[in-house]
A = this chain, B = another copy of it.
Amino acid sequence: MNDFIYYAPTKVYFGKDKENEVGKIIKDYGYKTIMMQYGKESIKKIGLYDRVMKSLKDNEIEVIEMGGVEPNPKVEFVREAIKVAKENKVEMILAVGGGSVIDSSKATAAGAMCDFDVWKFSSGEETPKAALPVGCILTLAAAGSEMSASAVLTDLSINMKRGYGSEFNRCKFAICNPELTYSVNKYNTACGIVDIMAHTMERYFTPVDDTPLTDSIAESILKSVIDAGKVLMTDPENYEARATVMWASSLSHNDLTGCGRANYLAVHQLEHALSGEFDFVAHGAGLAVLFPAWAKYIYKHNIKRFSQFARNVWNVKETDDEKCAIKGIECMEEFFKSLGMPTTLKEIGISNENAEKMALLCTFNKKRTIKSFVELDYEIIKDIFEMC
């Protein structure tokens, strides 16, 4: 077991109708002027926008609106939001949406407290030293951004999608009402499930031994999400299944599943290159394509761990460890398919002739490698993309 720091200070309000308490919650913190970020029209269609605005108004909160956050949130939008936040002296940011809206809000919150360009956090040139508080009302169970320390931005001008971690990226509060995800369609529900599983598996598949408690919690999250995911494919308004997936979303990425383990997120880094270059690729779909290929390439470096995964998560009974490991990966791939997820690049309309370009993007033109069971260098990453 590795040493670790665990710090997940987000206060989670979980359950039905909790969004109606948002004004009271913000008032109790003492904030009077806030910025509210959201995406397109979907929060208006489900009536959420009106309920939130009413709660804020009832509690005399002044709201500066910034709608229009896009999937794979863009740094250009964040730059504009920072300008507005500074001009209006907003005291906190309220994100109403999924991971993109929350990430955009986190970057705005940190950018509003500094004088340099916000992309420097993503590029690694700077780290946040302060940030406005961020609260969120979650409408999509997927990214885990509501409790995570990470934020991911995209700069289309350089085709780059980059994440950065910081304690200042932790939301102060998160309002999680599973009913708000009833209207999420089957494809996006499935993308979310893959993302949640990926956050858990990224930490599970690292070269550290002797973390039985963390392993077992990770396996619990995976099994619960798999069971709930099967239910949601035919019964999208099943409260208990939506609730299980939503809570798993938070736990999968608040670092609980990584305690004592290495924290690499290798497949996420490959996927960020993919959806950074091909903006139409949903993050979860990109992960569904890349995870099985990465696993097939890498499992030989830790057959014991992959066979543990097969036995404890997928209930594979095979006694030969290597065969068992392979069957576990096949189960994962079959499950992704059963959710209607793509598992090849071709299915998402991308030729694997792009493998070279992807490998260059992932390695910043061969200037870095990515940590995993073995270091993923340009050649290996190209191979993995070719396998997709």
Contact = CB atoms under 8 A, between A and B. Distances in A.
A259 B256 CA distance: 15
A212 to B, nearest CB: 5
A320 B220 CA distance: 25
B1 A16 contact: no
A3 B256 CA distance: 21
Contacts of A243: 1, 260
Contacts of A16: 3
Interface in A1-37: 1-16, 18
A217 interface: yes
Interface in A77-132: none
A210 interface: yes
A379 interface: no
B1 A5 contact: no
B5 A14 contact: yes
A216 B224 contact: yes
Contact of A216 (B8, B13, B223): B223
A212 B221 CA distance: 9
Of A11, A216, A219, A260, chain B has the most CB atoms within 10 Å of the CB of A216
A216 B220 contact: yes
B6 A14 contact: yes
Contacts of A214: 247
A224 B240 contact: no
A248 interface: yes
Of A6, A9, A219, chain B has the most CB atoms within 10 Å of the CB of A6
A67 B214 CA distance: 35
A18 B1 contact: no
A216 B313 CA distance: 12
A352 interface: no
A213 interface: yes
A213 B244 contact: yes
A70 interface: no
Contacts of A8: 8-9
Given A243-B260, A248-B213, A4 B15 contact: yes
A60 interface: no
A99 to B, nearest CB: 19
Q: Which 6 A-B pairs have the closest CB atoms?
A: A3-B15, A216-B220, A9-B9, A213-B224, A210-B240, A6-B12
30 contacts: A1-B240, A1-B243, A2-B15, A3-B14, A4-B12, A4-B14, A4-B15, A5-B12, A5-B13, A6-B12, A6-B14, A7-B12, A8-B9, A9-B9, A9-B11, A212-B228, A213-B221, A213-B224, A213-B244, A213-B247, A213-B248, A214-B247, A216-B220, A216-B224, A217-B217, A217-B221, A220-B220, A243-B260, A247-B260, A256-B256
